[in-house]
């Protein structure tokens, strides 16, 4: 009964989810990890933080790919603040998934949540950078 209900919900959502996946893949192609590494490197500074936040917000990289990227950034000498901001916006802010989020929560709530989380991610990144 419960399984059946879950399955029905899953089936209804499969097509919107697959559309999201296609958008995500295209975004990943347009902003490949190699470019991300180049712009978020050691000498990126405050601009790097901003780029990290914006790129992290737009793209939606699966966790098991984003962690190796983050590791690579740190090895290359990127600051913890930049990496923490990047990881946090990746997870918390989703421009690509915004249409889906709007369907669930409505336009105002979805946009407010993303804006709030964007601001929070930058502050989280800065604080993490200060602590580490």
DSSP for 28-95 reads HHHS-HHHHHHHTSGGGHHHHHHHHHHHHHH----HHHHHHHHHHHHHTT--HHHHHHHHHHHHH--S
> Minimal distance in Å, beta carbon 51 to another protein?
19
Tell me which of 35, 39, 83, 86 binds another protein, using CB under 8 A: 83
> Candidates 37-45, 46-54, 120-128 — which segment interacts with another protein by CB under 8 A?
120-128
The encoded tokens of residue 93 equal 């802010």
Closest separation in Å from C-beta 33 to another protein: 10
Binding status of residue 76 toward another protein by CB under 8 A: no
Of 29, 27, 124, 26, nearest to 83 by C-alpha is: 124
122 binds another protein (CB under 8 A): no
Give the separation between CA 12 and CA 19, rounded to whole angstroms: 13
Q: Counting contacts by CB under 8 A, is residue 35 touching another protein?
A: no
Instruction: Indicate which single residue of 20, 54, 58, 111 sits in contact with another protein (rule: CB under 8 A).
Output: 20
Residue found under tokens 């990746």? 90
Compute the distance between CA of residue 113 and CA of residue 102 in angstroms, rounded to an integer.
11
Residues that bind another protein in the complex, under the rule CB under 8 A = 1-7, 9-13, 16-17, 20-22, 24-26, 28-29, 32, 60, 62-65, 67-68, 70-71, 74, 80, 83-84, 87-88, 91-92, 94, 97, 100-101, 103-106, 108-109, 112-113, 116-117, 120, 123-124, 127-128, 131-132
């Amino acid at each position: 009964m419960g399984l059946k209900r879950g399955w029905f919900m899953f089936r209804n959502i499969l097509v919107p989810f697959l559309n999201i996946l296609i958008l995500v893949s295209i975004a990943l192609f347009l902003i490949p990890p190699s470019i991300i590494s180049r712009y978020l490197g050691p000498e990126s500074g405050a601009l790097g933080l901003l780029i990290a936040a914006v790129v992290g917000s737009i793209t939606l990289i699966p966790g098991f790919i984003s962690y190796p990227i983050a590791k690579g950034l740190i090895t290359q000498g990127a600051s913890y603040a930049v990496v923490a901001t990047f990881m946090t916006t990746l997870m918390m802010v989703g421009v690509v998934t915004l249409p889906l989020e709007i369907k669930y929560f409505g336009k105002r709530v979805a946009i407010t949540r993303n804006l709030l989380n964007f601001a929070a991610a930058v502050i989280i990144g800065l604080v993490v950078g200060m602590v580490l």
